[in-house]
Amino acid sequence: MKKISLVIPAYNEEINIPIIREKIADVFNSQLPQYVYELIFVNDGSRDNTQQVLEQLASEFPEVKYIEFSRNFGHQAALKAGLNHVDELSNATISLDCDLQHPPCFIPELIQEWEKGYDLVYTIRRYDVSESFFKKFTSNLYYKILARLSDFQFEKGEGADFKLYDARVISEIKKNHESDLFLRGFTKWIGFKQKGINFQAGVRENGISQYTINKMFALALAGVTSFSVKPLYLAAYLGLFFSLMSMLYIPYVIYALVTKTEISGWASIISTIVFFGGLQLCILGIIGIYLGKIFTQVKERPLFIIKSKNF
């Protein structure tokens, strides 16, 4: 029998963990009896009773495995830890969130496409009417910008970590040791035969989203800077453009000096100085982000620290 591993990051999800375990079990028992499966929960430094719930479930159900972090290292680190610990005998791995916004009922469709020969099956999120306009707009805008700034094309709604990975893809992911990991981009970069399927995002079952605006912004920034140096080229092009504009202005200044024409406009001069000062700081910030990523990478600190696990 083929084996499917499921990697599920969890942060303060004590209520949702038993629910998603039961829903996944129902899917495999009723629709996928020809497969065996394991559940790898990654406790990302939860502050509630997530760990106690995982330990209880692991004692009752042999397919439940858990990894406990020493602190909160972030969603991408938790996802990477789970993928790193996938059983080498697993034929495929599925990653999904614990809050049930990645509905387990789509698991059979992911596996069906994988059985057709696709190495990586990703999902394309279709928003329902309950999603805010701001959420939909910013998500679509971000992936359009990312597509422009990188060498990869993202479909509208693509980007969720609800994916199926063939064993060969997992093998390549395990080799990755980036300190500022952006798996959504890495799975695009990695190649292989890929296929996207549509899915309707579920409603969060319990609790509130642990993905704050700051975390989403940090993830977005990591996505752009991890797979593109185009922002650096953009900074260089801006510098070149404004240098050329200033050179075109020089002949006018010389003419005004020769003809004794008064050059007025202190307000415009001050505004120009402030504008270019801000632009320079922005460009320095872009360079600083890339330097910071290099600094973090060369320290070679671990992406996560495991406090305990049951396998």
Tell me how far apart the 2 most distant CA atoms of the chain are, in Å: 92
CA distance 111 to 278: 51
Q: How many percent of the chain have pLDDT more than 70?
A: 75
Q: How confident is the model at residue 282 (pLDDT cuts 50, 70, 90)?
A: confident
Categorize the per-residue pLDDT at 280 as very low, low, confident or very high, splitting at 50, 70 and 90: confident
At 66 the three-state DSSP class reads: strand
Whether residue 147 has pLDDT greater than 70: no
Residue 96 pLDDT exceeds 80: yes
| Predicted model pTM | 0.73
Can you list the alpha helix ranges (DSSP code H) found in 175-229? 183-189, 213-226
Domain boundaries, the chain: 2-228+302-309, 230-299
Do the strands 158-166 and 194-200 form a parallel or antiparallel pair, or are they unpaired? Answer: unpaired
As a whole number, mean pLDDT of residues 207-229 equals 63
d(CA 23, CA 33): 14
Q: Which residue has the higher pLDDT, 124 or 152?
A: 124
Confidence of residue 132 (pLDDT cuts 50, 70, 90): low
The closest of 250, 248, 246 to 238, measured between CA atoms, is 246
User: Out of 3.40.50.720, 3.30.1330.20, 3.90.1150.10, 3.90.550.10, which CATH number does the structure's domain 2-228+302-309 have?
Assistant: 3.90.550.10
Q: What would the two tokens of residue 57 be?
A: 């479930």
The residue with greater pLDDT, 63 or 231, is: 63
Report how far Cα 17 is from the mean position of its chain's Cα atoms: 22
Do 198 and 122 touch, CB atoms closer than 8 A?
no
Q: How far apart are CA 121 and CA 162, in angstroms?
A: 9
Q: What is the mean pLDDT of the chain?
A: 82
Q: How open is the CA angle 4-10-16, to the nearest 5 degrees?
A: 90
Residue whose entry in the numeric block shows the structure tokens 């129902």? 26
Tell me the percentage of the chain whose pLDDT exceeds 90.
Answer: 42
For the ranges 27-31, 41-45, 77-81, 275-279, the lowest mean pLDDT is seen at: 275-279
pLDDT tens for 158-203 read 667 899 999 999 999 998 888 777 787 788 888 889 998 888 766 5
Evaluate if residue 94 carries a pLDDT over 90.
Answer: yes
What is the arithmetic mean of pLDDT over 211-232?
A: 67
User: What's the residue count for the chain?
Assistant: 311
Q: Tell me: pLDDT of 104 over 60.
A: yes
Inform me whether the pLDDT recorded for 137 exceeds 90: no
Which has more confidence, 38 or 152?
Answer: 38
24: pLDDT strictly greater than 90: yes
Q: What pairing do the DSSP bridges indicate for beta strands 35-43 and 64-69?
A: parallel
Sign for the pseudo-dihedral over CA of 19, 24, 29, 35:
negative
Q: Has residue 285 got a pLDDT over 70?
A: yes
Q: Report whether pLDDT(295) > 90.
A: no
For the record, the structure tokens of 287 come out as 């360079």
- Answer whether residue 130 shows pLDDT above 70: no
For residue 305, what are the contacts with CB-CB under 8 A and spacing of at least 6? 69, 70, 71, 73
Mean pLDDT to the nearest integer, 155-159: 64
Dihedral sign, Cα of residue 67, residue 68, residue 69, residue 72: positive
CA distances 263 to 243, 252, 270, Å, are 20, 10, 14
